[in-house]
Structure 1
Amino acid sequence: MKSEKEKMLAGELYDASDPQLVAERAAAQKICSNLNCQTLESDQKRSLINELFGVDTDISLTPPFYCDYGRNIRLGRRVYFNFNCVVLDVAEVSIGDNVLVGPGVQILTASHPLDSTLRRQGQEFGIPVVIENDVWIGAGAIICPGVTIGAKSVIGAGSVVTKNIGSGVLAVGNPCKVIRDIA
């Protein structure tokens, strides 16, 4: 029988109130809270970032930053998160090299069943998000569950990305649509 965490990571319906998941979220929230303290020395900040993501990483971020688990975020090199970003990482979030994430961006993998009975039972699921190399996501954009953003693309500020975006394009709006090639 699969644990709730195994179900969560497999994209199956799972119970988010499972004690293991609650404890792991609480641990990530504690790290985020400490990370978001503006008085940290750079070595303290680096230590907390590495603890949150579970790897030694060269990511840069400007607090505040929030996530569910941290450990489900796969980071390339030279990734930057600006102020007030949120990553709901109940499924894997894969971020390539040289990715710029503007202030107030939300990257969401968490979703809920359309069936209200399942929602009342506390069931939810996640769908992975992929952001390829050299992407720039403008301020306030929302990246919805299951989306892939292709390499060298730019997502305009305030966009709501509900479908995959190809490589080398400028995409904007709600819903986000490609408006032209840029590469």
Structure 2
Amino acid sequence: MPNCDPLLPSDEALLDRCQKGDDRSFRALVDRHHGALFATAMGMLGSEADAESVVQDGFLRFYRNLDRFEGRSSLKTYLTRIVMNQALKQLQQRRRWYHRFLSSDDEETNLPEASAEPEVRQIETEELAAGVREAVQTLKPEFRSVVVLRFLNGCSTQECADILGVPPGTVMSRLSRALDKLAPLLKELNSQNVC
């Protein structure tokens, strides 16, 4: 989120101070961007622990390479790209782990959920939100990423394209396909909630 308060230093000013060795300015950047980055990672991974790990790793990578940030995109876009790449890597590692340890002969094997919530009676809006999160988790990573960036982070098509390193047309195509895949799941979820 861009800094709108004229009394607070801009990302650029904080970054300049960071590059000169001011660790408090780096902490200010972490505090400013952590929430949005965590939401991105959570949307991709579905697990608070995994999301926090990815965000921390993203900030660590950024800190180690402060001098490489050239400012061709906003700091928010740059950090989101780092976290998105880390989340996609983690999804690939999960897939490899599942395939290594689960027998492909056993068609009845169910993969563990990315995030298991305790069996607690929830109010309808919480159930609906959980259902939407579960529906999004069923998407392939390339489709999930555009849904998370557009609807959770509120990124524009161009920002999504910059973060994912694909043309804007690809973002729109993936978003359309993701919504087509989500529509029946969300319709079923909505009908369950109405009853």
TM-score, L = length of structure 1:
0.28
RCO higher in 1 or 2 (8 Å CA, sep ≥ 6)?
Answer: 2
Q: Higher Cα Rg: structure 1 or 2? A: 2
TM-score, L = length of structure 2:
0.27
**Higher share of residues assigned helix:** 2
